[in-house]
Structure 1
Amino acid sequence: MNLACESCPVKETAACSVLTEDERDALAAAGRTRTLKRDEMLFAAGDEDAACATLVSGALKVSAYDQDGNEQILALVHPAGFIGELFAPFAHHDVVALTESKLCTFARGDIERAIDDYPALARALLRRSQEDLLATRNLLELTAHASAESRLAALLHDFAAAASQSSCHLAREFELPLTRGEIANMLGLTIETVSRKLGELEDTGAIVRKGKRGIEIVDSALLQDISGR
């Protein structure tokens, strides 16, 4: 395994983890590392030349804009997530860094060849597409039916899960990658409601806020219970 893959923090969880060492080295040779600053765009809506990428660290948002220029956040991408529409441009979606983010990027043609050459990779990407679809459905159901408190608790739960080094437990502490305005946008709430519900979650003993964006999970079971996860 080459040095970049050996030190990659998502080498065991990214789609490429299903490849053999030689296959991963061959794929890595076709890719390049890219670092984005907060608010820097990875792909723009309608980009015909958009590459594909695995997020190594940081966080991204997938968003669209209506005719009045209002942003709608459609999805979040966490480390090990795969970004890219392999056989179509991004149509109406922008992909933008929420924090400083490091990615392993590939030209679409290189990924298409890798899918042909490595059936295990094709299956892994299909599973991730199914997981992304399920996450989108869960978000739609959450914003349509759940209480404001449940929506926010579920989002914090998901952030803590994404920040964890283990699938068995949530991260104890993490930084919110979204501003309160972005959280309100994503959950269909007002900024004032987000602020109030964060305070209420802290009052229940589920979380503690640290600084501007820091969150400590004090009682993960309580947070999960409130979220309905």
Structure 2
Amino acid sequence: MNLACATCPVKDSAACAVLTTEERDALAAAGHTRTLKRGEMLFAAGDDEAACATLVSGALKVTAYDQDGNEQILSLVHPSGFIGELFTPFAHHDVVALTESRLCTFARGDIERAIEDYPALARALLRRSQEDLLATRNLLELTAHASAEARLAALLHDFAAAASDSSCHLASSFELPLTRGEIANMLGLTIETVSRKLGELEEMGAVARNGKRGIDVLDPALLQDLSGR
């Protein structure tokens, strides 16, 4: 299905927002909309000519596997995030949908040509790459030095920020895209510790669980303070 930029919910926050209407229309003509079910893979490590994509809705995880076959979650991709490994002969990591996810996908060659044709897009993608690198470094620092409470609070804070319509405040509620096992994997904790610390955050009044996956943010300032963000 061809792209419909006018009704795209991330048209003002995705990298393509820097393009003029005419430039965006030209780029959209080369792209397609794709929907992934939870657990479905966008591309796998080793794929050549892997597609590039902007996430419109849902959530993705970027993963790798150690020599024993254990999964390691390296990063998450939230709506308006860009995914794709440009200028490499093949993909280095798996990218998998955590929830039903909708994406604008492009052949890598089309994005590479767009970068050459539209310098503003190249700068926007470079800026996002720098932000992703900083987020990865922050995650490494968090898992290496922060307490279990701070690790979980930071992850919940980032989910609430990603779910918000504004960069100025956190969303009041959101759905966790990760299972507790995946949270434990990402934060270097045990599932039991994740459950215990989530209960403690509830007792403090920072958040409240709402159903199976829902999280209500009751005290955004407290959550931010606990996270060290």
Residue 41 of structure 1 aligns with which residue?
41
| Distance in structure 2 (CA, Å) of the matches to 1:70 and 1:94 | 13
Percent identical: 85
- Native 8 Å contact 2:42 2:97 kept in 1: yes
Residue 90 of structure 1 aligns with which residue?
91
| Distance in structure 2 (CA, Å) of the matches to 1:76 and 1:151 | 15
Residue 11 of structure 1 aligns with which residue?
11
- Name the SS for the 1:48 alignment partner: coil
| Distance in structure 2 (CA, Å) of the matches to 1:124 and 1:3 | 20
Residue 115 of structure 1 aligns with which residue?
115
1:178-215 residue CA offsets vs partner (Å, 9 max, x unmatched): 00000000000000000000000000000010111100
Amino acid at match of 2:171: A
| Distance in structure 2 (CA, Å) of the matches to 1:43 and 1:164 | 28
Unaligned 5+ segments in structure 1 are none
Residue 66 of structure 2 aligns with which residue?
66
Amino acid at match of 1:222: L
Residue 129 of structure 2 aligns with which residue?
129
Displacement of 1:140: 0.1
1:139-218 correspondence to structure 2 within 5 Å: 139-218=139-218
Unaligned 5+ segments in structure 2 are none
| Distance in structure 1 (CA, Å) of the matches to 2:49 and 2:26 | 22
Displacement of 1:3: 7.7
Report the number of matched residues. Answer: 227
- Structure 1: which 4+ aligned runs deviate by more than 3 Å? none
Residue 76 of structure 1 aligns with which residue?
76
Residue 226 of structure 2 aligns with which residue?
226
| Distance in structure 2 (CA, Å) of the matches to 1:21 and 1:214 | 37
Amino acid at match of 1:132: D
- Name the SS for the 1:170 alignment partner: coil
| Distance in structure 1 (CA, Å) of the matches to 2:12 and 2:167 | 12
- Native 8 Å contact 2:85 2:91 kept in 1: yes
Residue 102 of structure 2 aligns with which residue?
102
- Name the SS for the 2:53 alignment partner: strand
- Native 8 Å contact 2:32 2:105 kept in 1: yes
- Native 8 Å contact 2:3 2:29 kept in 1: no
- Name the SS for the 1:215 alignment partner: strand
Distance change in 2, residues 1:140/1:7 (3 Å) = same
Query: CA RMSD for the aligned pairs?
Result: 0.9
Structure 2 length normalisation: TM-score?
0.98
